[in-house]
Amino acid sequence: ELQSFRSQLATEQSRCFKLE
């Protein structure tokens, strides 16, 4: 569960980075 949450957070962060 924790890993899944971490994976999702990393994915969202990656998106933010791509956006900028």
The pLDDT value recorded for residue 11 is: 95
Query: What's the pTM?
Result: 0.32
* 3, amino acid identity: Q
The pLDDT value recorded for residue 12 is: 94
Among residues 8, 4, 6, 11, the alpha carbon closest in space to that of 19 is found at: 11
* 12, amino acid identity: E
Q: Round to whole Å and give the CA distance between 5 and 20.
A: 23
State pLDDT tens for residues 1-20: 899 999 999 999 999 888 77
Q: Round to whole Å and give the CA distance between 10 and 3.
A: 10
Reported as half-sphere exposure (CB side, CA atoms, 13 A), residue 3 has a value of 0
Q: Is 14 helix (H, G, I), strand (E, B) or coil?
A: helix
The pLDDT value recorded for residue 15 is: 92
